[in-house]
Structure 1
């Protein structure tokens, strides 16, 4: 076998998968329950097929609304469509899923169960749901995949809140998870990784768990050393967005305004013949625009303006003692703060740093801050695009994870 066979579970839009898309890896199956994220992933598989077949003009036609998704499907073979399994992993579906995976030799399993259950945000509100929130125990299906396929390695990504999360009995969940992995013969370790240290223009702390069969346990330290060796200086928002057009609220502009710098060319604009897409700014209420201006101006002077510090005429909420950071601007000269799925609800936490533009960021700008290339298109609405981006593993980081695996695991 000249490549590593990978199963990608709890895939989301495929941010983790994206790093594993080179000739060394063959992605056998993506498994994802969300319909829009699954369609995004299917489209991405089609994109890579068309690229290899010298037919990217069809992808551009699709982006331009000249042909339908169905027409794209007609131009791709069934084995490309069949990689995507849009299904929820659960007790009733797991045997069916196993039956859909024809390859029996699996080198690696990658993925991270949905993290909202472990997140420190909203933890108090979620406390009462613990006994009914099945997301807490989705990692047990990950264990089932390891038992079934006995891969040479696995990569499990999650929020750092997992380390402090307590289960229904009030016990820390993470040590129990570690024990369950060990019981089936896997050695594991984890590191808290900040994506900003790896070339992603965003401060984003996540746990990366790496596991191998017990007889290969020496590889774990080597993996984390190989990952560490790929660190680089942080990238600012300005560096990441420098070539994109100036927009005002409600505007759409899908043309680049400037030549790309080296960083943008390397990570976002490798494909010079693909259209810019999804660069549309949300419309905003007049009062929010006034707030955005104040907040962005304060940010440019190094200050995060709290809600109760706004001009009195702009404070409409009765409660000025909580949710004081409900408005937040990006800083041109720093990596972005963490992009989370809440961006799908409103853009108040992601105000564009350019005061003249006075708006929240677009889907394309959010995708860039998350490290997605410009030829990556998110189905099928602005809301679901933002959700997919906020939930993703940054592809720039996942590529370095894949690199580290290639450095240490020889087939």
Structure 2
């Protein structure tokens, strides 16, 4: 078994792709309470699946048992893999202690994860500049280095947003260059090679234009290979949104409908996302006021003509914001005959940027639809509110792409597996 540690886990999208029999998760480290609950539920799901007891999971999804009653059915050794602590100087000793208490933790083969990306994002960068001096998120990557130093893994994966390419630190120097320098110091001591590349997940079967920066490192003592060059063999065209959603029920703004439609799923959904043994969940749509719904209808209709509507171009009676000359793309529909634009955590605040392509439904996308765009399987349940679920989905690494990452590592670093 190849032991891995997942840092800054979020809902566990990156780990989900490593759910193969060759990998053993030693620990998730995640500060957010709701995301940590999600991780516990997911660990419990795989435990019950392995032991042929998914009826307990179904009972929980159907609200026949409570969260506490559900976890009472799961060994603590399973749920204790989730460490609900912020990664900080004060918490490191306790985090290390909990990881070291796990069976087989004396050998760590891989470390995966990436610190919160909001500090590096180009969105809101001008606003964040005011808090830059006190924003500790900028240097959270240094804690990642401490895990590399302590556990000396065979490989590591560090993921973050495209904005890191241009982000400047407090001294107005390019932060990525500093990260590369700091990684090199660790790498020179532990004898790693490091490779960096911007990846668009849409090139690898994810139905979403999602550019993310990946840093991959591995020990020089292992088989030499170009991680990103070998990744090219996994290129795959994703399904269009129409195919991705075709088996989901139609619903209106504010509705919840957790039953599949009579339309059969596409081959991609059937193979990768849908689990007919588990009921559909979280197909819930947020409510909207009448003004927004009128805008949604206009935006969705124009999207069918491949046109995006600027806020300033809306009928005057629908424009309620005084500053109509900024955030002109605040309303955006998803392309039914193509891939989605990037799902981000802001979807937790409103759905204006993710309007459903079907004009007749006139709403923003549901939690489950957002999860599908991110390639989370339908049997994946997010705790513990609609807002929290949207946030976790927006922040995640698409599991489908993560699966490709894990396969690439297995085929090139661990040929015996």
TM over 0.5: yes
Which position in structure 2 is the counterpart of 1:325? 329
Matches within 5 A, 1:290-305: 290-305=294-309
Match in the other structure for 2:125:
123
Could you tell me which residue of structure 2 aligns to residue 149 of structure 1? 151
| Shift of residue 216, structure 1, vs aligned partner | 4.2
Residue deviations 1:72-112 (CA, integer Å, cap 9, x gap): 22211111011110000100011111111131100000001
- For residues 215 and 163 of structure 1, the distance between their equivalents in structure 2, rounded to whole angstroms, comes to 29
Q: Match of 1:172?
A: 174
TM-score normalised over the length of structure 1:
0.97
Give the equivalent residue in structure 1 for 2:195.
189
Deviations 1:337-373 (A, max 9, x none): 0000000000000000000000000000000001100
Superimposed CA distance per residue, residues 168-225 of structure 1 (whole angstroms, 9 cap, x where no aligned partner): 0000011111111111123211111111111111110001110013444833x1x222
CA distance in 2, matches of 1:309, 1:73: 52
Q: Distance in 1 between the 2:184 and 2:322 partners?
A: 51
- Structure 1 moving runs of 4+ over 3 Å: 214-217
Tell me, what secondary structure is at the counterpart of 2:5? strand
Per-residue CA deviations over 1:42-66 (Å, capped at 9, x if unaligned) read 1000000000111101101000110
Deviation, 1:239, is 1.3
Contact 1:187–1:217 (Cα < 8 Å) also in 2: no
Residue 73 (1) aligns with residue 78 (2): no
Q: Determine if the alignment matches structure 1 residue 381 to structure 2 residue 366.
A: no
Partner residue, 1:337 = 341
Provide, for residues 319-344 of structure 1, a one-character-per-residue CA deviation record: whole Å limited to 9, x for no partner. 22111111000110111000000000
1:147 and 1:72 map into 2 onto residues whose CA distance is: 37
Q: Which runs of 5+ in 1 are unaligned?
A: none
- SS of equivalent to 1:375: coil
Which residue of 2 is the match for residue 132 of structure 1?
A: 134
Q: What is the SS of the residue equivalent to 1:364?
A: helix
Give the 5 Å matches for 1:10-409.
Answer: 10-102=8-100, 103-185=105-187, 186-216=192-222, 218-219=224-225, 221=226, 223-257=227-261, 258-269=263-274, 271-409=275-413
Q: Would you say the 8 A contact 1:117–1:126 is kept in 2?
A: yes
1-side partners of 2:39 and 2:315: how far apart? 45
Contact 2:222-2:413 within 8 A present in 1 as well:
no
Supply the distance in 2 between the matched residues of 1:198 and 1:354 (Cα, whole angstroms): 26
Residues 181, 187 of structure 1: 8 Å contact kept: no
3-state SS of paired residue (1:29)? strand
Q: Is the 8 Å Cα contact of residues 226 and 407 (structure 1) preserved in structure 2?
A: no
Which stretch shifts more, 75-84 or 364-373?
75-84
RMSD, aligned CA: 1.1
Larger mean Cα displacement after TM superposition, 183-192 or 327-336: 183-192
The CA distance in 2 between the partners of 1:24 and 1:227, in whole Å, is: 19
1:243–1:259 CA contact under 8 A, matched in 2: yes
Answer whether contact 1:196 1:235 (CA < 8 A) is retained: no
Is contact 1:236-1:335 (8 Å) kept? yes
Q: Classify the secondary structure of the residue corresponding to 1:218.
A: coil
Once residues 58 and 289 of structure 2 are traced to their aligned partners in structure 1, the CA distance between those partners, rounded to angstroms, is: 34
Q: Distance in 1 between matches of 2:173 and 2:213?
A: 19
CA distance in 2, matches of 1:136, 1:42: 28
Does the residue aligned with 2:133 lie in a helix, a strand or coil?
coil
